[in-house]
Amino acid sequence: MKFSFKNDYSEGCHPNILQALLRHNLDQQAGYGEDEYSLQAKELIKEKIKKSDSDIYFVSGGTQANLIVISSVLRPYQCAVSASTGHILNNETGAIEATGHKILSIEKEDGKLTAEDIIPVLESHKNVPHQVMPKLVYISNSTELGTIYTLKELEKLSAFCKENDLYLFMDGARMGHGLTSEISDLTLEKVAELTDVFYLGGTKNGALIGEAIVINNQELQPDFAFNIKQKGALLAKGRLLGIQFLELMKNDLYFELAKHANQQAMKIKNAMKERGVEFLSDTYTNQIFPILRNDLIQKLSEKFEFYVWKKIDENFSAIRLITSWNTEDEPVNDFIEILKSEL
């Protein structure tokens, strides 16, 4: 059986979560997220972000989180701004557009937005009331290309959004990987301080399913639960999500798992760099995009699964490799050995 580097959710969940689900399986609890595990998990998250006035909601997945947040905070004539690589643009089947909200795309090779990128968008949308109104800036950390925001970059972007009356929403499907990157100077506390809304992704970091939406802007908090329910995201057995996030937040398991995934990816990246391999983007998280000969890609695909991300020319292509919280040394070492024999 081939080992998969295709994504970071091929496995089930961390054993701690499975054991906790089994341990509490027969406990009777209130429904719809009012169970004691969900309430405890929310308090733990508030402690970690040092914001007791933030509201937290658990939903099942990233697309669901993006859809609910964006559709609930925007008025019908308002729109979102995203990098061209943004998940909401490329991998959510028009979910945002289906709610009646346009997404304005900005071409970015590194997947990150800056104030300078957004200024032309604002300048070109002043024909009131004939054009949509840019109102929400959507970013990801880590991005869809594995890159991350520095503290300075996020501070500048946050200040710009406040000055221009824009909401700043951070997709955190791989938040753990972004914050535990070896070059990151950003913290969860700072993310909460600098964004209006963000979410902590569990699906790609040790959970069976689940994302934790964190609403920091108090203007966006009233009636948010109605949107959760209306979009079919309010689980009757909310404990399923609460138990998972309680386990992930305990003893910083969430960050330990992400750090491990990053380290495994860096082993492969460093082995490639030693042999002169170039990359589509310079990443320090669990996603890497090496540019390899097509014949080598074919040989690697005999033992491993991964995505061929982009054709460079007739001889070379970029592939995407993703490591997970459960990626062990053996497949990583096997992958590196094949590289050594061919490069």
Domain ranges of the chain: 3-8+254-342, 15-251
CA 122 vs. chain centroid, Å, equals 26
Round to whole Å and give the CA distance between 294 and 308: 10
Angstrom distances, CA of residue 128 to CA of 77, 122, 151, 196:
11, 12, 34, 25
Counting Cα atoms < 13 Å in the Cβ hemisphere of 299 gives 15
pLDDT at 146: 96
State yes or no: cis peptide before 129, omega within 30 of 0: yes
pLDDT of residue 201: 98
Quick one: CATH architecture of 3-8+254-342?
Answer: Alpha-Beta Complex (3.90)
Cα 119 off chain centre by: 25
Whether 315 has a pLDDT exceeding 90, the answer reads yes
For residue 56, pLDDT beyond 90? yes
Q: Coil, helix or strand for 330?
A: helix
Per-residue pLDDT tens over the stretch 28-48: 999 999 999 999 999 999 999
pLDDT digits (tens, 9 = 90+) for 187-242: 999 999 999 999 999 999 999 999 999 999 999 999 999 999 999 999 999 999 99
Distance from C-alpha of 73 to C-alpha of 108, rounded to nearest angstrom: 25
Give percent of the chain with pLDDT exceeding 70. 100
For residue 343, the model assigns a pLDDT of 87
> 217, 197 in Cβ contact below 8 A?
yes
User: Where does the chain have alpha helices with state H?
Assistant: 15-23, 36-49, 62-73, 87-90, 95-98, 115-123, 151-163, 175-179, 188-194, 224-230, 239-249, 253-274, 294-300, 329-342
| Helices 151-163 and 115-123, packing angle to 10 deg | 20
Q: What is the mean pLDDT of residues 277-281?
A: 94
Residue written as token pair 């024909």: 127
State mean pLDDT over 324-338: 96
Handedness of CA 61, 146, 215, 71 (dihedral sign): negative
Measure the CA–CA gap between 93 and 89, rounded to whole angstroms. Answer: 8
* Mean per-residue pLDDT, 170-198: 98
Distance in angstroms (rounded) separating the CA atoms of residues 273 and 52: 44
Q: Is 215 helix (H, G, I), strand (E, B) or coil?
A: strand
Give me the residue label for tokens 């729109």.
Answer: 79
Measured between alpha carbons, how far is 200 from 215 in angstroms, rounded to an integer? 11
Give the three-class secondary structure for 57: strand
Q: Are 169 and 138 a contacting pair, CB within 8 Å?
A: yes
What architecture does CATH give domain 15-251?
3-Layer(aba) Sandwich (3.40)
Q: Is the pLDDT of residue 183 over 90?
A: yes
User: Within its chain, how far is the Cα of 220 from the centroid?
Assistant: 21
Q: What is the pLDDT of residue 1?
A: 83
Mean pLDDT of 71-96: 97
Whether the Cβ atoms of residue 74 and residue 135 lie closer than 8 Å to each other: yes
> Residue 324: which pLDDT band, with cuts at 50, 70 and 90?
very high
